[in-house]
Structure 1
Amino acid sequence: MSTSPFTGRISGHGGRHAVEVARHHGIDTMFTLSGGHVFPLYDAAVQPEPTMRLLDVRHEQTAVFGAEGIGKLTRRAGMAVVTAGPGVTNVVSGIATAHFNGSPLVVVGGRAPDGRWGQGLLQELDQPPLLAPITKRAATVHATDGIAAAMDEACRLANSAHRGPVFLDMPMDRLYDQAEIELSGAGTAGGRTPDPEAVADIARLIGEAERPLFVFGSDVWIDGAERVALETAEALGIPVVTNGQGRGVLPAGHPLLATRARGAALGGADLVVVVGTPLDFRLGHGLFGGKDGAPLAKVVHVADAEAQIATHLTLAGSVSGDLSQVLRGIADAAKPSGAVEQWRSTLTEATKAAVAGDAEALASDADPIHPARIYGELNKILDDDAVVIGDGGDFVSYAGKYIEPKQPGNWLDPGPFGCLGTGLGYSIAARLARPSSQVVTLLGDGAAGFSLMDVDTLVRHKLPVVMVCGNNGIWGLEKAPMQALYGYDVVADLNPQTRYDQVVEALGGGGELVTEPEEIAPALRRAFDSGVPYLVNIATDPENVYPRKTMGV
């Protein structure tokens, strides 16, 4: 969804050049933490009249997670602006997260002045080499009259498949200097038409399969292919497993949605067509099938760009390009065999069994509280367009199992990089991007320690968000595996029932501690009714760790 190149004349200081181009590309919010190296960008946002919202945070990583969240929700690059030196080094994990998520993002970093470079200036650091491995481009703009063109290219590159972060380094003196330039609008993006023969081969493989399965991932949403993906699955009658922001492409309860029977679906398939997500640890690295001694499934990989096609295993087929075009081509050409009906029936029954098997946990009266009970109550309250944000390990793993979105694009989690601390930045972005929707942020107590100070940002900018903290007093992803490996654990404990709710109250929000299962539903209703950032701090049973077969390696 890249926008057209900027065309026109710009005059003024370098910050004005950058902001005018960013606005052309649909960027209306600058996520930032104040720093003198980037003052001209602030000046351009508010003078002579406000043209861009300044959203200032308490830690630079939140600025980047906020901007990345905008990219994930709107499918258009968000922008973060950070000062030089530690301002830039503080955002490395955020940029890496956007890189692994394929999120459109532009980050502008301040830089010590060119005019005195090498003299030991404050925060003097050559920053692009730090970020080059995790960006589509990382570069310094050494001329004021080159800032607009560099920003134009950065926005188009970030918004072009395969999407990702771009970093621009702008020396302080070049931002303050004046220039007048004119851009011609050259450099339109090329086409992304998929290879028709590759699409035909995939359609043939589907026709030969008895147990085909689609996997729809985040890029189905980011590439704008969610409607076509749903229509393709329905036209062919092929079951679907979803992950990431692909969750909701088939709404909760859809007869073809097999995510609740994920093990049976991925283990029993003889052909898996993976669309818009990497064949990484979340998908067993593409080793599907093999159930009850059957051979491994054939695997087809469909990606929005050629570089995203998996190379670590032998594929039965692959194609890259516009995902809507690929899926339409498959829908038009594929003729599934009659055996697929039995396969659908098998997965339908497995899904029903999984749902029935979950019922007891979702309604559990156990004391201490079973984490599943929280999701049993939350599911009763969530609207169809609710944005659900997961920032945690064990607690959010339960959410991934029990929460099934009804619409695509409404589920945000850290993604394959697994970086904790995304929650508050994503919360800010969700409230801005979806002002009329419920926004619910699920925090493990470990994750809460990374970014809870930015509740101050929610309060200052009047951004109400409901936060639910699953507080079991441990690092759940580490404690149980270490015990299994060694028979003991170290550095895996937190203080039980820490009053994170009182932290939120001290910052100007609301909150409460819940210790009894029957208190969960009333507390959640109070949170949604409060109209302020509100944290429901729920003490859960540390013995109820999420069951895992592997450690994701």
Structure 2
Amino acid sequence: LLKKANAPIILAGGGTFWSDSSSELKQLVDNSGIPFYTTPMTRGIVSDDHPFSYPAARSSAFRETDFVLVLGTRFNWIMTYGNRINPDAKIIQVDIFEEEIAHNREVTLGIVGDCKNVINQLNEELLKQNIKSNQWETWRNNLSKLEKSRLEKVKPLEESSQSPIHPLRLCKELREVMDPSSIISIDGNEILHYGIQSIPCYKPRHSINSGPTGCMGVGLPYAIGAKIA
């Protein structure tokens, strides 16, 4: 299935987070050359500054992909029940819970197992099948162009001197001073939408936000808790 794909992506969810498979997933991305995306919980499982990360092109990647490796995430309402993904795409879903396989979205192949173990097996198989990272260079270049184009469009807002400050300007200022090891706590409502798109995460468990309900007021106590921990 993967060898026949022209536009594959990896979608990493909470299963990769809980199985502590950051290094294994990075190896998979490095060796395969497949662009990767994450669920909110999994931000930083592979660093956002990885060369195969194109977060600003996420919507286009989901629409245009023809193969998705889904690792440890449900097709629930947070994932719009899988409806954002190209309806003709081949999907391989890996989940430790059998009942989550093909729930809400049909899949081509379901694998019941721990993400860390399955990713290790995939890494071994990549070597056996001699799959190289340059196989999808054209696909990555397309996503890279989209990424640059969309980032260019928001530059005027990032550099705006309007008052009160625009959220994108705030996010830009934070990016310029934050350390890669910083833990970012993002509050709810409007800043949540801008923050999760504009503030990068470089390590697992280093991005905290108000979650799918967008509750306001949690940013500060979350930050205090992270600092104490």
TM-score class, shorter-chain normalisation, is 0.7 to 0.9
Q: 1:275 aligns with which of 71, 75, 87?
A: 71
Q: Output the amino acid matched with 1:365.
A: S
Map 1:119-130; keep pairs closer than 5 Å.
none
Question: Is 1:296 the counterpart of 2:92 in the alignment?
Answer: no
Displacement of 1:323 in angstroms is 1.2
Q: Give the match for residue 328 of structure 1.
A: 120
In structure 1, how many angstroms separate the alpha carbons of the residues matched to 2:220 and 2:103?
Answer: 35
Per-residue CA deviation, residues 31-65 of structure 1 (Å, 9 max, x unaligned), is xxxxxxxxxxxxxxxxxxxxxxxxxxxxxxxxxxx
Contact 1:269 1:288 in 2 (8 A): no
Q: Give the match for residue 371 of structure 1.
A: 167
Q: 1:246 aligns with which of 15, 37, 42?
A: 42
Question: Is 1:312 the counterpart of 2:108 in the alignment?
Answer: no
In structure 1, how many angstroms separate the alpha carbons of the residues matched to 2:82 and 2:16?
Answer: 18
Unpaired runs of 5+ residues, structure 2, are none
Q: Output the amino acid matched with 1:303.
A: D
Per-residue CA deviation, residues 192-213 of structure 1 (Å, 9 max, x unaligned), is xxxxxxxxxxxxx222211110
Q: Give the match for residue 360 of structure 1.
A: 156
Q: Give the match for residue 429 of structure 1.
A: 225
SS in structure 1 of the partner of residue 154 of structure 2: helix
Contact 2:76 2:104 in 1 (8 A): no
Displacement of 1:425 in angstroms is 4.4
Displacement of 1:422 in angstroms is 3.9
Per-residue CA deviation, residues 110-151 of structure 1 (Å, 9 max, x unaligned), is xxxxxxxxxxxxxxxxxxxxxxxxxxxxxxxxxxxxxxxxxx
Identity value in percent: 27
TM-score (norm 2): 0.87
Contact 1:211 1:271 in 2 (8 A): yes
Displacement of 1:301 in angstroms is 1.8
Q: 1:256 aligns with which of 32, 41, 52?
A: 52
Instruction: Assess, with a 3 A threshold, how the Cα gap between structure 1 residues 425 and 369 changes in structure 2: closer, same or farther.
Output: closer
SS in structure 2 of the partner of residue 416 of structure 1: coil
Unpaired runs of 5+ residues, structure 1, are 1-204, 434-553
Displacement of 1:387 in angstroms is 0.9
Q: Where is the strand percentage greater, Structure 1 or Structure 2?
A: 1
Contact 1:372 1:398 in 2 (8 A): yes
Contact 2:59 2:84 in 1 (8 A): no
SS in structure 2 of the partner of residue 213 of structure 1: strand
Q: Output the amino acid matched with 1:286.
A: G
Contact 1:288 1:296 in 2 (8 A): no
In structure 1, how many angstroms separate the alpha carbons of the residues matched to 2:13 and 2:156?
Answer: 30
In structure 1, how many angstroms separate the alpha carbons of the residues matched to 2:105 and 2:17?
Answer: 25
Instruction: Assess, with a 3 A threshold, how the Cα gap between structure 1 residues 235 and 400 changes in structure 2: closer, same or farther.
Output: same
Q: Give the match for residue 343 of structure 1.
A: 139
Q: Give the match for residue 31 of structure 1.
A: none
Q: Output the amino acid matched with 1:276.
A: G
Q: 1:222 aligns with which of 1, 14, 18?
A: 18
Contact 2:82 2:104 in 1 (8 A): no
Contact 1:218 1:245 in 2 (8 A): yes
Per-residue CA deviation, residues 324-358 of structure 1 (Å, 9 max, x unaligned), is 11111122224558752211111122222222223
In structure 2, how many angstroms separate the alpha carbons of the residues matched to 1:371 and 1:245?
Answer: 22
